Chains A and B, each alone.
Chain A
Amino acid sequence: MALDRCPDCSATLPEDARYCPACGVPVAPDAPIRLRREEPSPWAQFLDAAWDFFASVRVAVVLIVLIALAAIGGTLVEQEGLYQDWRPPELYYPARYGPLLGRLLMATGLTHTYTSWWFLTLVYLLVISLIVCSLQRLVPLHRALQKPTVEKHLGFLLRQPVQARLPAQGADPLAPLAETLRRRGYRVWREGKGLHADRGRLGRYGPYIIHIGLIICALAAGAKALPGVDVTHDLWVENGQTVALPGTRLAIRNNRFIMETYPNGMPKLFQTQATLLEDGREVLHHNIEVNKPLVYGPWWGPWEIYQASWREEPGIAHLELVAGDRVLGKVDLDLKSPAREYQVTPEVRVVVERYFHDFDLDPATGQPVNRSREIANPVFLLRFVGPDGQEVGRQALNVAIQPGVEARSVAEGPYALRQIGISSRWYTGLRARRDLTVPYMYGGLGVVMVGMYITFFVFHRQIWALDLGTEVVLGARTNKDRWGLQQEVRRIARALGGELTVGNGVERSPGSTGA
């Protein structure tokens, strides 16, 4: 006994359908032909059950909704790597959410939702569902579209959403209809008293093209977990310096970093005027800006270097050597890595005894220490040495790094260094990346978009006609755009001297459709 409507998608079924022409699900009772003489093995039974499970649209919808819910969970908790704090996760989360909740969130994986085992499990279950659903439906759909039933019962035609009646003229009343339909780009079959025509059947393949694209995207995203596929290096490069890209023969030189602001103080431009070197040879000059990365290498996996950040740091203290009120000479002390000693005048040498870039006294021992790794409170312990190598004085100098703050200093003996200025050191923060999944991901997205265009904008129109001797009855349906189909059938019917009888779901008495 044949079903009237598809149990899976509720599309109207042809009388003798074994597969639903809309979604491809087997509908006839004898459709899943499993001729087995003996009881199937438990393994085969399990595979059958698994296949049926993943082939269900309901299961797919439930998986989609579960993934959406899981993703919502991930947006409610700050994710590892996205929070703006220097602390590692095991310190950050207990501090942020309280010790109990913090540890609970970390244990359940909600702090890294999108790489957690349960999220990835859901995603790959959906990928399996995509593959099985597509295989299950694509093959029967293709068969049904290639070999349609041409001669239908009148009852089938009278159930179609758009219907028309044409006068039966001539020896072959279906011939002018066939001709008209062919001219409109339809594929036409004839069989006995029946005619079938269709156009835009490509639209029916659209969903499967989307699914293939999505599978490619999911595999590309999954490949990121493989070593070496997705590599990132953060580089801090001082103006004028060159830094090697680890693991490659490349190096990048920052010729100059510039920053521009709008009159209101908002940043306008961050730019690194960079040179790329390969084996020490200059291969590329590029001004790296936000939205304009440097790209070098083959199209399938180039290195891309992005403007990620910048930093200004106290660089060089400009000082003069004084004896009383007399200026004897000038000297520049590097605040990052000062030289061991500086010959300021032929008579006086300044020896850097000790240097603290962030001076503090350890409260426990009372010894001078560095409080952090920043250059935040630079202190020099200096010794002045005469031409004969004799020590002629000492000084402890606290260089002022903020404008408007005086340098502090304690000196013994006739000499002292006096600060007259300070200049900054500029670093550009570059992020070098090579992601081999990009072409596959973009390819997958391209396939998805082509599939979407085909699915949503190519309409599959199907027309059946029966020659009843006195008149020709025409029934038509489409998977989308019923309005457009109705317009087209009305035009065809009028051209052949007939009229539309049923359209847009509303039955009309003959004559009411005419303008």
Chain B
Amino acid sequence: MASHWLLAVAFFSYLAASILYVAGFIGQRRLALAAAGAAGGQATGVGPGGTPAAGEFYWKAPGWAFALATLGTLAHAGGILARWQGAGHWPTANLYEFVGFMSFCSMVAFQVLYRLYRFPVLGALATPVTVALLAYSYVFPREVEPLIPQLRSHWLTLHVSFAALGEGFFAVAFAAALLYLLRTREAEKESRLAGLALESIFWFASTVLTFVVLAYLLRYVLGQEWAIVLDRGVARYHLPPIIGPEGSTPGQAGSLFGLPLPLVAVPGWIKGKNANTFLFAVALGTPVYYLLRRLLCRGLPFREALARLAQGLDADLLDEISYRAVAIGYPVFTLGALVFAMFWAKVAWGRYWFWDPKETWAFISWLIYSAYLHLRLTRGWEGRVSAWMAVIGFGAILFTLVGVNLLIVGLHSYAGGDL
């Protein structure tokens, strides 16, 4: 299908763009540090990036990266249109389509904010977030499914597209807020808890990465399957089922190294299979985190290594970019995720509000960003406290999008969510 090819073009363009952005950013920083060292009369050895040709490369890299990111965005738009054509409905009906669409929106948000601020470092942050989201979408089943009666409505297009667009801006706000936190970090004054909190963001990113790779490998490459027969059907696992679904009996799916499978069964309001995948991601994500730390940061905590790189950036500008991204994303998100959602709920279910977990979490995310907007106006709570709120807000957004579908049973269950 054309959409698969276009998406592949988009994915590799984003990937190349993010590598160029990050390489350019790190190279420029190193050159600046080396220059500062030389000016200070110290005999710092100029590294491999110190040759004039390489220096030129580092200064040009962001330009190429932006061109690649733009190419990727166009290919991605083409891919979405092609899938729309092929499927016969706007492609935001299951998690594969939706997460992919959201990664597209984060790129659109990046394009808008780049035009406003012309700040290449933004690219070094936004493109990896986009790559991660797009990679994540590949974990979900890619088949086009016909729409069940509940989804056959124009509100599907409006509600989901506007919500995703707002979330794209929140993704950029998150990236800028994270960089702000790194930039304004004062290692001596940082409490143990604050350090752990900041580092946990990188731990979480490693876990998600592990999860994506693991889910992809097991489903598409190894084709492994464990089946648990239940009264109401068969639960098919692509990972050893340590956590079984409701109604399963321990040991019914055999054993792994003497450990009965499943080991425990969950109550009905949790999706056992997804809780199982989650368990694996957390268990394997932690060693991956330490491995990445060793490979990328010479064993330093991520926040330590990245804070060094972030020195010299304009902290106020980062704060303003983060705020501006929220200031654009917030009204769009309100319209898409709350107002249009209420209109649709009224037409489809007869009530505009149900306190269904998904809509409650959208409301929680909205509250967090509302708090962010007010915190920024409050003396003593502007700056780092607000930036943390922008980070937490994006965490809530991710949980709304993915966590609720995967872990909690509710009215939005049909929006996919079996891994």
Contacts and interface: CB of A to CB of B under 8 A. Distances in A.
B311 interface: no
A268 B146 contact: yes
A270 B149 contact: yes
Contacts of B150: 290-291
B317 interface: yes
Contact of A291 (B153, B356, B382): B153
Given A82-B355, A266-B145, A482-B320, A449 B339 contact: yes
B364 A293 contact: no
B84 interface: no
Interface stretch (B120-128, B172-180, B328-336): B328-336
A65 interface: yes
A160 interface: no
Residue of A221, A232, A290, A481 contacting most chain B CB atoms (<10 Å): A290
A483 B354 contact: no
B48 interface: no
A322 to B, nearest CB: 40
Nearest to A290: B149
B138 interface: no
Contact of B146 (A264, A455, A505): A264
Contacts of A453: 331
Contact of B335 (A264, A449, A505): A449
A267 interface: yes
Contacts of B338: 445
A221 B350 contact: no
Interface string A471-515: 000000000111100000000000000000000111000000000
Interface string B307-348: 000000010110010001001101100110011001100111
A58 B330 CA distance: 20
A125 to B, nearest CB: 14
A61 B350 contact: no
A10 interface: yes
B351 A449 contact: no
Contacts of A64: 367, 370-371, 374
B157 interface: no
Interface string A114-139: 10000000000000000000000000
Given A57-B378, A75-B408, A456-B327, A308 B146 contact: no
B158 to A, nearest CB: 13
B375 interface: yes
Contacts of B324: 480-481
A456 B332 CA distance: 10
B145 A483 contact: no
Nearest to B152: A291
A7 B350 contact: no
Contacts of B12: none
Given A74-B355, A82-B355, A114-B355, A267 B330 contact: no
Contact of A266 (B116, B146, B339, B355): B146
Contact of B328 (A96, A431, A456): A456
B335 A306 contact: no
Interface string B149-177: 11011010000000000000000000000
A71 B348 contact: no
B106 to A, nearest CB: 19
Given A61-B378, A435-B351, A441-B352, A71 B364 contact: yes
Given A72-B364, A456-B328, A480-B327, A23 B371 contact: no
Contacts of B116: 481, 483
B353 interface: yes
A8 B378 CA distance: 5
Task: Categorize the interface residue count of chain A.
Answer: 35 or more
A31 interface: no
Contacts, number: 141
Given A269-B149, A480-B324, A306 B364 contact: no
B343 to A, nearest CB: 8
B322 to A, nearest CB: 13
A61 B339 contact: no
Contact of A221 (B347, B353, B378): B353
Contacts of B117: 483
Q: Is the interface of B mostly helix, strand, loop or mixed?
A: helix
B356 A262 contact: no
A245 interface: no
B143 to A, nearest CB: 10
Contact of A57 (B335, B343, B363, B374): B374
B367 A75 contact: no
A8 B377 contact: yes
B360 A82 contact: no
A455 B152 CA distance: 34
Interface in A45-66: 57-58, 60-61, 64-65
A290 B269 contact: no
Interface in A1-19: 5-10
Contacts of B357: 75
Contact of A433 (B145, B342, B350, B364): B350
A114 B356 CA distance: 11
B129 interface: no
Contact of A71 (B146, B148, B367, B382): B367
B382 A10 contact: yes
A84 B232 CA distance: 15
A78 B370 CA distance: 26
Most A C-beta atoms less than 10 A away, residue of B339, B346, B350: B350
Contacts of A341: none
Given A61-B375, A291-B348, A306-B350, A75 B361 contact: yes
A82 B356 contact: yes
B334 A291 contact: no
Interface in A274-321: 289-293, 304, 306-308
A267 B317 contact: no
B378 A9 contact: yes
Nearest to B376: A9
B368 interface: yes
Given A57-B377, A75-B357, A68 B351 contact: no
Nearest to A441: B352
Contact of A293 (B155, B328, B347, B363): B347
Interface in A376-423: none
A79 interface: yes
A448 interface: yes
A200 to B, nearest CB: 15
A355 to B, nearest CB: 31
B402 to A, nearest CB: 14
B152 A61 contact: no
B334 A79 contact: no
Contacts of B155: 291
Given A9-B378, A64-B367, A65-B371, A289 B350 contact: no
B267 interface: yes
A453 B335 CA distance: 11
Contacts of B368: 65, 68
A307 B116 CA distance: 48
Given A64-B374, A97-B267, 7 more contacts: A6-B379, A7-B379, A75-B408, A270-B149, A290-B348, A445-B338, A452-B335
17 contacts: A6-B379, A9-B378, A61-B378, A71-B364, A74-B355, A96-B267, A264-B146, A267-B149, A291-B150, A291-B347, A435-B351, A438-B352, A449-B334, A452-B335, A482-B320, A505-B316, A505-B317
Interface of B: 116-117, 145-146, 148-150, 152-153, 155, 267-269, 314, 316-317, 320, 324, 327-328, 330-331, 334-335, 338-339, 342-343, 346-357, 360-361, 363-364, 367-368, 370-371, 374-375, 377-379, 381-382, 404, 408-411
Closest CB pairs A-B (n = 4): A452-B331, A290-B149, A9-B377, A68-B367
